[in-house]
Amino acid sequence: MRHFRVPAPYDSVNVLPRLCIGARCRNDPAPGKALCVGCQRKAEARQPRPLLPPHPTQQPPDELHNRHVAGKRCYVYAVESMPTGAIKIGRALNVRHRLKSLQVSTPDELRERGRIRGTHELEERLHLALAEHNIRGEWFRPAPEVLRVVEMIENKDARGLWLFAADRLLPENPPKAHVSK
């Protein structure tokens, strides 16, 4: 067994010298620090720079990732699954690309039934109006009301779609105005 001689400043005390905590570093740390001078400089260089405030004409960061923000113009489309007849009512900026991505994820043949310029709000209101026919997500059973919406999308009847959604979402018995005598 070999005996190692401990360096002079440490031989009277039963302690080994402190080493830098940097990865694969065997240097002595700077006085009062856990890292040596070289590792300290590397750590400071890795610190992220402070973000500059966005330019007034730039979109906020949350809108950069969600391109379908409220009020943004897009297409509201209807797609039919051929074997089941299920209808998907969705929105996209590019319906052709959206249909291709949907087709990749399903074994059924999908067919675009129509598209109309619209907004996020229109699509959302149509989903709420057709909620009783919902299968899952944006897919609906081919009930008469759903087929009526598809027909309006095919005919590009935006006014009819808004009116349909408004009629379905209004309560059947609206509260009567309270008139005091």
Supply the mean pLDDT for the chain.
77
Q: What is the model's pLDDT at position 48?
A: 66
pLDDT one-digit tens code per residue, 99-148: 999 999 888 999 999 999 998 889 999 999 999 999 999 999 999 999 99
Tracing tokens 């309270």 back to the chain, one arrives at 178
Q: CA 87, 91, 94: angle at the middle one, nearest 5?
A: 110
Using an 8 Å Cβ cutoff, are 118 and 149 in contact? no
**What is the mean predicted confidence (pLDDT) over 14-40?**
67
**Res 94 pLDDT > 70:** yes
95 touches 76 (CB < 8 A): no
| Token digits of residue 180 | 């005091």
Please tell me the predicted confidence (pLDDT) of residue 135.
94
CA 62 to each of CA 32, 57, 68, 121: distance values in angstroms, whole numbers, following the listed order: 42, 15, 11, 18
Cα dist. 129→6, 74, 123, 132, 151 in Å? 82, 20, 10, 8, 16
Can you give the pTM of this predicted structure? 0.57
Degrees to nearest 5, angle at CA 107 with 137 and 124: 20
Quick one: CA dihedral 27, 32, 35, 37, positive or negative?
negative
**Residue 151 pLDDT:** 96
- pLDDT band at 73; cut points 50, 70, 90: confident
Evaluate if residue 1 carries a pLDDT over 50: yes
pLDDT number for residue 63 = 46
The Cα–Cα gap between 175 and 169 comes to 14
